[in-house]
Chains A and B, each alone.
Chain A
């Protein structure tokens, strides 16, 4: 819908303080980071060259992309199931689903990560239980590896994945589903051939949010990965705070931001931002 001129001017005025804040808090400091990447320790493209040749940096990049991709698939799938119940379930199911979605927001990310450690570690709840029923003899390694990281991150991100899905499902015309059934399609078939494709924009929006968030995860991989599954944010931290290699840290940051920017541009080419919320 197109607003009148004064509408749009009004909206622009309301947006202005937010825009100013974003520029001051993010854009300006980021320009500083860009400058470091080209000037530290010596001016030039040295850091970017190092990026291309450094095996460690590359393996961390690849691991980050892999974990983010898996977390995206896991979170969006789980969130989809929860959202279907939340939006289309019976009143009781709706309340339960809402509870599952909202409770994680009240618990800090640190608490949750340690909670997962307690559950997944060698002497944690799951291993103890599986051993006590004799299902396994040796504890499974569920934590301090990529598996633990994926579990913890997915758990954190599922609630965020719910909202774009919920808005897509809510805006769906109920009659189209009835039409499918009236034409002879079973509930299952209607779900897969009509419901899921019609919520495509929600799936894309949800996946994008989860993927972009995953790329920048720091606390959860640090705790649940146990130093073995270093992700890109942790690497940047290490470069800047532990081995004062500011130039390389800055260069990695710049590449990450450019990558995310390019990804969003690509997605927005195919899906209008309006359809995502």
Chain B
């Protein structure tokens, strides 16, 4: 984080943090690549802010080491790490104008007046705050304050930008706009971004990788499609979106995954851990299942009855009950749902083998 203008590469090695007897973070090991956009995702209280504060140097970890570009920075105070940080609630200097807020990190670095003027001007241009230079933070809208916070954190070209739920106070439309803007800033600056949110769709849309936290533990890190399509455990599977869980029996490794019996029908599925055997839980996203008149031989499919539907505009969410009583939700075209409900009797639920995966932890 020390060389301005160059994206930093960060390594967290066995980081833990206790507050008294409470474990806020536990044995966290994570590599953050140069120029990466990493999102920390997790429910409230899962330790995301704590980890970000440790990265910034505001909180000392109870154990573990932190490296930036290979240098141990665990004991380096925050002001010398100089990671750019955007706080929840922005934390702008209320007594300084927009211009002065953005100039602050440059003044601290004793840049010349002309350089400060030029770089602040460029930054104001870049985040679209022209015409607001002389205003105080209290005179700005939420979105504008957000831009000031971003500009202030980026103006000194930090190696890493840390963002703690920067959009949580914005309404939905503005949120979308700011997300797009942040993606653009990431591309333009090439800096490493570490972004905290508890909104899973935001995490999937923005990041190059997502790290999922729960109860102070890092559960899984991976590309958005990896964590969404191949979650390591039930928590990750459910946290990232709606998912159907079906019990399978007699699981055996097979080419390309595993086979087993789901509601007495032989099915194929993907799984990460080869050692999964016997009983397990199969997980399938609602949008990956479809309704068919019958399942052809060799295709994954189980019989079910449609019980209710929710019209969502572009598609319909259909609730079904399988023969053995499992509840399943699928997202299907509106007319398919209507037909399935009209028939009132059994339909077939089918899915491609590569879209069903076993939860390695047995769904615990």
Residues of chain A at the chain B interface (Cβ within 8 Å): 173, 175-176, 178-187, 189, 193-194, 197-198, 200
Contact = CB atoms under 8 A, between A and B. Distances in A.
A11 to B, nearest CB: 27
B73 to A, nearest CB: 14
B255 interface: no
Contacts of A187: 79
Interface residues of B, number: 27
Interface in B59-95: 77-85, 87-89, 91-95
Contact of A178 (B78, B84, B95, B153): B78
A185 B101 CA distance: 13
Most chain A CB inside 10 Å of its own CB: which residue of B56, B80, B95: B95
Contacts of B104: 180, 183, 185, 193
A181 B91 contact: no
Contact of A176 (B79, B92, B109): B92
A181 B78 contact: yes
Interface residues of chain A: helix, strand, loop or mixed (majority)? helix
A183 B152 contact: yes
Nearest to A197: B95
A178 B87 contact: yes
B105 A176 contact: no
Contacts of A176: 91-94
A10 to B, nearest CB: 31
Contact of A175 (B91, B105, B152, B156): B91
A187 B94 CA distance: 18
Contacts of B82: 182-184
B108 interface: yes
A178 B156 contact: no
A75 B109 CA distance: 35
Nearest to B152: A183
A31 to B, nearest CB: 42
A179 B91 CA distance: 7
A184 B79 contact: yes
Given A179-B91, A182-B81, A184-B105, 19 more contacts: A175-B88, A175-B89, A176-B91, A176-B93, A178-B91, A180-B93, A180-B104, A181-B58, A182-B79, A182-B82, A182-B85, A183-B82, A183-B153, A183-B156, A185-B105, A185-B108, A193-B104, A194-B93, A197-B95
Nearest to A196: B95
A187 B57 CA distance: 14
A184 B156 contact: yes
Contacts of B56: 178, 182
Contacts of A180: 93, 104
Nearest to B77: A181
Nearest to A176: B91
A198 B94 contact: yes
A175 B87 contact: yes
Interface string B93-107: 111000000001100
What 7 A-B pairs come out closest when comparing CB atoms? A175-B91, A183-B105, A179-B91, A182-B85, A197-B95, A184-B108, A184-B82
A181 B56 CA distance: 10
Contacts of A194: 93
Contacts of A186: 79
Contacts of B81: 182
Q: Which of B58, B81, B83 has the most CB of A within 10 A?
A: B58
Contact of A173 (B58, B91, B109, B152): B91
B78 A182 contact: yes
Contacts of B57: 182
A178 B87 CA distance: 9
27 contacts: A175-B89, A176-B92, A176-B93, A178-B56, A178-B85, A178-B91, A179-B85, A179-B92, A179-B93, A181-B79, A182-B56, A182-B78, A182-B82, A183-B84, A183-B85, A183-B108, A183-B153, A183-B156, A184-B79, A184-B80, A184-B108, A184-B109, A185-B104, A185-B105, A189-B108, A197-B95, A198-B94
